[in-house]
Structure 1
Amino acid sequence: MDSIIFDLDGTIWDPIDTVLGAWNSILTREEMNELTREELAATMGMQMDEVGMTLFPALNKERREQLIHECWSLETSFLAKRGGALYENVENVLAELSQKYKLYIVSNCQDGYIEVFYEYHKLEKYFLDFENPGRTSLSKGENINLVIERNSLSKPVYVGDTEGDLKAAKFAGIPFIYAKYGFGYASEYDEAVESFDELLRVFKA
């Protein structure tokens, strides 16, 4: 094992409260029903089309895409000012892992989202590269492969919290570590952790 590729939402941080404030401010303006934390959390890890269909099935495709773009744009602004909630001991764990492994992020998010995460929480120094569909228009599995190829990784693993993360890791042909404390569910995995700092146990084993 030479490297660790992380999902972001539900794996490294919980941005829901900040993101919910951004989305609901737009929905209120549009005289639409506000979302609950649970509704928004259920879309974590989805790409734009899936998010739109899940949250706004009554809208046509063009209107869904327009609304999602507006919400994503405002959430990036909100996160730049307020950040999200890092899981316990994230920086300490990243600092220790980065001494032995190369660290990366691949997330299903819009362009600029990971950069805001880096900037607010001052964590960019631990990661060597990142990718997302906002920049590439590729699936998560394809973006994982892109990071693997771009950085000449030979034995990476992927850490995530959803079935989609599992499928992406399988697509890339790499082991999957399931973050059980996150937002989703994974039907199978190579390892599972109950907290972020438990990754130290997995990677020391």
Structure 2
Amino acid sequence: MTDTSLKNKYDSIIFDLDGTLWDSTANVAIAWQAAKQEVDYIQIDIDQAVVRSITGLTYKTIFEKLFPYLDEKQREEFKAIAAKKELEILNERGGQLYPELEETLKYLQVNYKLFLVSNCQNGYAETFFNHSNLKEYFLGYQCYGTKSLPKWDNIRDIVNDFNLQAPVYVGDTQADYEATVKAGVPFIFAAYGFGKVEQGMVATVNSFAELREIL
């Protein structure tokens, strides 16, 4: 969807990570399945479809949703093992960057301040930056794992910390959209990602590179 009315409307762009900048679900699934082998109480196999189904949720919510039958001690133990395995695997293999990611960030950086806000665990965003070599394009980032705050709070932190006057958020799930509503920031829907958003967005893009057309 091309909407030239968005050009020169914003001073900054805040990006989601999973489903917006890259897809790490295949390797996260490998990591969590490996974590399963270290305990005897996980009842399901963890494949890419399972990981895709919860992408975008906070790390705490993910394990509550996937493993409601675990007691709190077991859930916290497995979450810690899975988190460690995840960072090990992703540091080694990374995720799949979406096409024309760097070219598009380079283009956008000329006119916009760029940021990252994700519901990921501590260390995950750094893994993305290390693997992609794209940290130079971002002025700042915030994750759930940093302060255990919801995404809308972290979006608002970025807006306040960097004195952004007209930010827009790019994400791929309904939860992303709902966070932007609470934060008071307009939303661009990345329809190529993992989720569905029916209404409320200021624009929809079917590829990351399409941001160059509308912004």
Asked if these proteins are the same fold (TM beyond 0.5), I'd say yes
Aligned ranges 1:81-160 → 2 under 5 Å: 81-160=92-171
Equivalent in the alignment of 1:198: 210
State which of 6, 16, 40 in structure 1 corresponds to 2:15: 6
2-structure distance, mates of 1:69, 1:193 = 35
CA distances 1:82-125 after superposition (whole Å, capped 9, x unpaired): 11000111011011111110000000011111011001110001
**Partner AA of 1:43 in structure 2:** I
2-structure distance, mates of 1:27, 1:34 = 8
- SS of the aligned residue for 1:138 comes to coil
- SS of the aligned residue for 1:29 comes to coil
Aligned ranges 1:46-65 → 2 under 5 Å: 46-65=57-76
Contact 1:162 1:186 in 2 (8 A): yes
Equivalent in the alignment of 1:165: 176
Contact 1:28 1:34 in 2 (8 A): no
Instruction: Point out which structure has higher relative CO (alpha carbons under 8 A, 6+ apart).
Output: 2
Q: Which moved more, 1:184-193 or 1:24-33?
A: 24-33
Contact 1:48 1:65 in 2 (8 A): no
- SS of the aligned residue for 1:142 comes to helix
Deviation at 1:43, TM superposition (A): 0.8
2-structure distance, mates of 1:154, 1:73 = 38
2-structure distance, mates of 1:35, 1:199 = 33
Deviation at 1:52, TM superposition (A): 1.2
**Partner AA of 1:201 in structure 2:** E
Aligned length: 203
Deviation at 1:66, TM superposition (A): 2.0
Q: Mind listing any 5+ residue stretches in structure 2 that lack a counterpart?
A: 1-9
CA distances 1:48-98 after superposition (whole Å, capped 9, x unpaired): 332112211110123212211221121111111111000111011011111
Equivalent in the alignment of 1:75: 86
Equivalent in the alignment of 2:4: none
**Partner AA of 2:61 in structure 1:** E
- SS of the aligned residue for 2:145 comes to helix
* TM-score scaled by length of structure 2: 0.91
* TM-score scaled by length of structure 1: 0.96
